[in-house]
Chain A
Amino acid sequence: MIPNTSVSTRTPLEFLNASKEAELIGEAQSGDRVAYLNLVRHYQRPLYRLAYAMSRSEEGAAALAQEAFARVWKDIAEYPSGRRFFHWLLHVVRNLPGGIISTSAAPDGDDPLLKAIEALRPDDRMALALRIVERVRYQEIAALLNLPTGIVILRIAQARGLMLAGTGNLDGGEP
């Protein structure tokens, strides 16, 4: 019998309407703080959740998200035309010193699953977090991480396999 695999009831990442987003970005580039805060309100939750999934520290996740939004605002004039806001946000987060990519999960004692998460490469953990926490489709993850879709599929699968092995549920990462 095939097991039921539904895992999350959270609202997944939803992008703003593209034209509305472009309009808000344009206004923010004119110095309109209200427009920018509208963008923040829409994307703060997924960004925080993603940062939390990477660090599993509420404090660290909030600080990271704050820093990312503040940086994007500061350099809003350099916002690349036509790029989705969340894509750019993630790009900024990934390049922050001490940011997501250099973040490893907090120490977890004896929980083998959490240890297995910690053992993942940051990029793989991010791909997995985008999938599990935000339920983003592979193609969108590939766009967000600027990777080919095939690589994303491979990394997510490998990460799952490694964690099964790490938690003693599988003999190895590959069948």
Chain B
Amino acid sequence: MIHLTIQQLSSLLDEELSEASAALAREHLTSCESCSSKFARLGKQEEALARALGSDPEDEFFERFTRRLEERIQSEGPKLIPAKPASSEREQSAPMAHASATPASAAHASVAPASAAHASAAQTSRLAPLAPTSRAPGSRADTSQEAHPVRPVYEPLAHRILPSSSAQRQNGGPFPWAAAILIVAIAGGIGAFLFGTELVSYLLGASGLSSTQPRSAPLTRPGADDLHPPQYATAELGSPASEPPTDAPPPSTAKPVDRTVKSHESSTEEDSSADLESREEPTSGGTGESAATYEAAASDWEQSLASLHGDEYRAARLHLAEARYRAWKLEPTKERAARVVGAIRAFLVGSQPGIDRENATRWLSEVEGSGY
């Protein structure tokens, strides 16, 4: 007896055979136990596959998805082509949308300081590498966004981080502080290259700029294994910039330590030294490090993603992946391995070649090769 091929069975399953072929195949199935059994197993497998491959989140998930994308594309305008004018009806219904998508518009100008603050926040966040620096959904920033739908959620934070730069620049202020800080940082970098790091570190520390470390520093230097998750001290919960997301999981498992997540404004030399001191103890014993604290940090980063975009979003993705990886490293489980892989892949999507990508790829290989 000639049996049906897997292609024929598969096509029959998908109802992609012609009527005549399908009729012949069905006739064969009624008389061939082997093919009928195989077809039945294919059908059962199909049901299992549909369950395994399927994920259909609720509408709220996609509403958040669209909001996040909207925030992102507000700051990353398209390369426009000379276009036909939009209809007046649409302009009336969404005037801000047009304005913010036009590079020279006033709306776009109002986004720029926030973007500068994002970069600054991303840089300073490296002081506490696993601590999210922005608000999570549901925080006060979200409230302001609802009142002004096209205003970037990060704008209030921008004013906090750069009180004299973003605000004054918008008002034609006298001095571009952000540019000045950038110039000093570049000069510091050149100095470090020319004169060694100790002198420059001292100078930067003395001027309060020691927090402006390269984005990838904690990952690139030896001892990168000793990253610490955020520790939210009770005394700091009221501080606007260090306040954890309102819906963040309580860091109940975190052992209280002196080093806490500092606000951007209050980053001081002591912060740096405390931070570096705390990094000298990579083991889980006695430092407050545990898989649970890293998981808590990861949750915080995860929640912060909703209000970030651009470089800061990508930096948060990296922190999230790293926190997940550290948690798995300390206490490997299958569930943690799956979460690490998901977080790393999410970071790798669209990430540029570089040390961060290499590190993330290495972590991924390690987790995938571990059997977990």
Task: Determine the chain A residues whose CB is within 8 A of the CB of B66 once the complex forms.
Answer: 37, 40-41, 44
A121 in the interface (beta carbon within 8 A): no
Q: Is the CB of A75 within 8 A of B78?
A: yes
B367 in the interface (beta carbon within 8 A): yes
Q: Is the CB of A57 within 8 A of B45?
A: no
Q: Is the CB of B345 within 8 A of A160?
A: no
Chain B: which residue is nearest A26 at the CB level? B84
Q: Is the CB of A10 within 8 A of B342?
A: no
Least distance between B3 CB and chain A CB atoms (Å): 6
A30 CA / B69 CA spacing, docked (Å): 18
Q: Which residues of chain A (80-129) have a CB below 8 Å from chain B? A: 96-99, 103-104, 106-109, 111, 113-114, 117, 128-129
B-side interface mostly: helix
| Interface stretch (choices B53-61, B172-180, B257-265) | B53-61
B98 in the interface (beta carbon within 8 A): yes
Q: Is the CB of A113 within 8 A of B52?
A: yes
Q: Is the CB of A2 within 8 A of B36?
A: yes
A106 CA / B65 CA spacing, docked (Å): 22
A27 CA / B343 CA spacing, docked (Å): 35
A65 CA / B80 CA spacing, docked (Å): 22
Partner among A98, A107, A158 whose Cβ is within 8 Å of the Cβ of B350: A98
B368 in the interface (beta carbon within 8 A): yes
Least distance between B207 CB and chain A CB atoms (Å): 37
B88 in the interface (beta carbon within 8 A): no
Partner among B36, B53, B349 whose Cβ is within 8 Å of the Cβ of A60: B349
Partner among B7, B43, B56, B79 whose Cβ is within 8 Å of the Cβ of A74: B79
A4 CA / B46 CA spacing, docked (Å): 11
Partner among B69, B77, B83, B338 whose Cβ is within 8 Å of the Cβ of A40: B69
Q: Is the CB of B54 within 8 A of A10?
A: yes
Q: Is the CB of B54 within 8 A of A31?
A: no
Least distance between A103 CB and chain B CB atoms (Å): 6
| Interface stretch (choices B9-17, B111-119, B152-160, B162-170) | B9-17
Least distance between A161 CB and chain B CB atoms (Å): 4
Q: Of A64, A98, A164, which is in contact with the most chain B CB atoms at under 10 Å from its CB? A: A98
Q: Is the CB of A32 within 8 A of B97?
A: yes
Q: Which residues of chain B (66-86) have a CB below 8 Å from chain A? A: 66, 68-70, 72-74, 76-81, 83-86
Q: Is the CB of A58 within 8 A of B342?
A: yes
Q: Is the CB of A4 within 8 A of B43?
A: yes
**Digit string of A28-60 for contact with B (CB within 8 Å is 1, else 0)?**
111111111100110011001100110111111
A147 in the interface (beta carbon within 8 A): no
* Interface residue tally on A, bucketed by range: 35 or more
A160 CA / B66 CA spacing, docked (Å): 35
Q: Is the CB of A58 within 8 A of B57?
A: yes
Chain B: which residue is nearest A99 at the CB level? B349
Partner among B62, B90, B347 whose Cβ is within 8 Å of the Cβ of A32: B90
B195 in the interface (beta carbon within 8 A): no
Least distance between A100 CB and chain B CB atoms (Å): 9
Task: Determine the chain B residues whose CB is within 8 A of the CB of A71 once the complex forms.
Answer: 350
Task: Determine the chain B residues whose CB is within 8 A of the CB of A17 once the complex forms.
Answer: none
Chain A: which residue is nearest B49 at the CB level? A132
A27 CA / B372 CA spacing, docked (Å): 48
Q: Is the CB of B86 within 8 A of A27?
A: yes
A173 CA / B6 CA spacing, docked (Å): 8
A76 CA / B345 CA spacing, docked (Å): 25
Task: Determine the chain A residues whose CB is within 8 A of the CB of B337 once the complex forms.
Answer: 106-107
Q: Which residues of chain B (28-44) have a CB below 8 Å from chain A? A: 29-30, 36, 38-44
Assuming the contacts A62-B65, A96-B350, A173-B6, asked whether A34 and B338 have C-beta atoms less than 8 A apart, the reply is: no
A91 CA / B51 CA spacing, docked (Å): 26
**Digit string of A153-175 for contact with B (CB within 8 Å is 1, else 0)?**
11011101101100101100111
Footprint of B on A, CB under 8 Å?
1-5, 7-8, 10, 26-37, 40-41, 44-45, 48-49, 52-53, 55-67, 69-71, 73-78, 96-99, 103-104, 106-109, 111, 113-114, 117, 128-129, 131-133, 137-138, 153-154, 156-158, 160-161, 163-164, 167, 169-170, 173-175
CB-based closest 5 A-B pairs:
A57-B342, A30-B83, A98-B348, A63-B346, A157-B10
Between A and B, 13 residue pairs with Cβ closer than 8 Å are A5-B42, A7-B46, A30-B85, A31-B77, A31-B80, A31-B98, A57-B341, A74-B76, A74-B79, A76-B79, A97-B353, A103-B345, A175-B38
Known: A32-B98, A76-B78, A157-B6. 4 other contacts (CB 8 A): A27-B86, A55-B345, A71-B350, A173-B6
